[in-house]
Amino acid sequence: MKKIIALISCMFGLFVFMNVYHEPQVDAAEKTYTIGTDVTFPPFVYANSNNKYVGIDMELIRSIAKEEGFKVDIKPIGFNAAVQSLSSGQIDGVIAGMTITDERREKFDFSTPYYKSGIVMAVAPKSDVKSLKDLKGKRVAVKTGTSGATYANSIKDRYGFKTVTFDDSDNVYNDVKNGNSAACFDDSAVLNYGVKTGLGLKVVTKPTDTGSYGFAVEKGKNKELMAKFNSGLKKLKANGQYDKIIKKYTGESATSSQKKANDKADSEGHTFIGLIKQNKSAILEGIFETIKLTVVSIICATIFGVLVGLLGVLPSKVARGASTTIIYIFRGLPLLVLALFIYNGVPSLTGSKVPAFIAGIITLTLNEGAYTAAFVKGGIAAVDPGQMEAARSLGLPFGRSMRKVILPQGIKIMIPSFINQFIITLKDTSILSIIGILELTQTGKIIIARNLEGFKIWTIIALIYLIIITVLTLLSKWVERRIND
Ligand code: ASN
C-alpha cells in the first residue's frame, strides 16, 4: 500500500513540476479572453510551418488586443466546435472568418464587419462540372455548421445533389481532390486564395452575395470585449495597420511566395525525418499535454475508482447500491458523449465555464474510475471468503480485517487490471481532442490540416503513442514486481 502511495505521489510531483515549468506567466493587470477559431482557413487562420497560428484574423485579434490592452488565448478547435463552445459560454469570442447571418444574430453579437466574402463552388482541375446544373446525382462536400453548408443544403433539392459533411476545410478539399465528391462549397475569399496558392482546385461559380465576416461573442455577454474589438478595429483601419495586414496575406507577393513554398513542399515531398524536424516543437508540446492528462487522470481515476470500489464491498446496502449505480452510469456512457456533456452541456446549464483541461480530467476520472471501481470490487470478491470469516472469528473488526487480510491479497489480484487501465487511460486521452485540448491527436490533426501528409503524420503519432505506452507498461511492471516482492 505504501508503495502505491509513493508511486501516486511521484506522479503528482511530476505533474506539479510540469505545470510550474509549463504555465506561461500572465500579467495580472491585463484580462485574458479565450478566443475560439478554425483549425485551417487560410488566409484568415492557419498554422504556419512553425505551427504558430497566423493569418488575417489572428493578426487582427492580436493587434486589437495589443491596442486595447487585453490578452488573448487562441484555441484552434475547428469552426463548428468554436461556435458550440461560444454558445455554451466556454469561450469568450470567435474569430474564424465567421459570416454574419440573420440566423446567427439571434444567438451571437457581431462586431463591425471586417471582410467581405461570398460562397463559391470549387471542383477538381479536370472536372467536367461547370455549373450548379451539372451537380445532378452527385456528391458535394461541405464543412459542418458553416454558411457554405447552409447554402449547399438550401439548393441541393433544386439541383439534385447530396451533401457530405467534414469538420475541417482541408478534409472538404481532399474529398474533391480524391474524386469522392464532385464539388465543394466554401467561402470565396478562402477558395480564391487557395487557387492562387496552389490548392489544386478551380472555382467555377461567382460568389453569392452572402455577407461579411465579423468577430462574435455570445448574445448580450462580453460587451466589454466587443466594444474593445470594435474600437481597436477602428484604430487599425485609421492608422493603416488593417490594410497592411490584408496586404500581407492577400497581396500579390504574399500569394506568389506562398505558392512557391507550397509547390516546393509538394515537389520535395516530405520525408518522415523532415516532417518530425519541421514539427518538432508542436509534437513535443502535444506529447507533453498527453502525458500531463494521463498522469493527472490516472491519479484521480485511481483514487475515485478505489473509493467507489471499496464502497461496493461495505456491509451497508446503501453504500453498495451507490457504488453499483456510479459504475453503471459512467461505464455505460461513451467517453465522447461524457466529454461533450461536461465541456459543452454542463456550462450551458450552469452558465459557468469548465476549462477544457479540467473537463478532460473529470471525464477520464469518471469513466476510467468506474472501470477501476469494478475491478477493485471484483479483486476483493476474488479473495477466498474464508479469509474474512477467519479474520473476523479471530476478533478483528470489519475495517481491520479488510485492511490487514483482504486488501493485501486483493491488490495482488488487481495489479494487472490497474496496469491495463493505465494504458487505456493514456489511449483515451486522444478522445479529448474533440473538446479542443491540444494533445497529441489534436496536434496531428492540425499538422495534417497544413501539410496534408495524413499517412506519414498519423504513422508518426501512432509510433509516439506506442513508445509512451511501452514506457508506461515497463514502469507499471517494475512497480508490480516491487509490490510482489
Ligand atoms: N465562413 C464560415 C462560416 O461563417 C466560417 C468558416 O468556415 N471558418 O460559416
**Mean pLDDT, contiguous 10-residue spans, the chain (485 residues):** 54 52 53 94 88 93 97 93 93 97 96 96 96 97 96 97 94 92 96 92 93 96 97 97 96 87 72 87 94 96 96 94 97 96 90 90 98 96 91 91 90 91 96 90 86 86 96 89 80
Residue among 183, 195, 97 at smallest CA distance from 146: 97
Contacts of 270 (CB under 8 A, 6+ apart): 278, 451, 453, 456
3-state secondary structure of 128: coil
Q: What is the CB neighbour count within 10 angstroms for residue 287?
A: 18
Q: Which of 146, 154, 188, 191 maximizes ligand 1 atoms within 8 Å of its Cβ, making it the mutation to test the pocket? A: 146
Does the C-beta of 143 come closer than 6 Å to ligand 1?
Answer: yes
The one-letter code for the residue type at 233 is: L
**Cα 199 from Cα 190, distance rounded (Å):** 10
pLDDT value at residue 11: 55
pLDDT value at residue 372: 97
Prediction pTM value: 0.79
Q: Which domains does the chain have, with CATH numbers?
A: 2-11+278-484 (1.10.3720.10), 31-114+214-264 (3.40.190.10), 116-211 (3.40.190.10)
pLDDT value at residue 1: 53
pLDDT value at residue 449: 78
Does the C-beta of 108 come closer than 6 Å to ligand 1?
Answer: no
Closest atom of ligand 1 to 79 CA is 8
CA–chain centroid gap for 31, Å, is 24
Q: Specify the DSSP class assigned to residue 411.
A: H
Q: Which of 80, 143, 191 maximizes ligand 1 atoms within 8 Å of its Cβ, making it the mutation to test the pocket? A: 143
pLDDT value at residue 21: 46
Ligand 1 centroid – CA 252 distance (Å): 24
Does the C-beta of 146 come closer than 6 Å to ligand 1?
Answer: yes
Does the C-beta of 98 come closer than 6 Å to ligand 1?
Answer: yes
Does the C-beta of 187 come closer than 6 Å to ligand 1?
Answer: yes
Ligand 1 centroid – CA 44 distance (Å): 10
Ligand 1 centroid – CA 79 distance (Å): 7
pLDDT value at residue 393: 92
pLDDT value at residue 4: 53
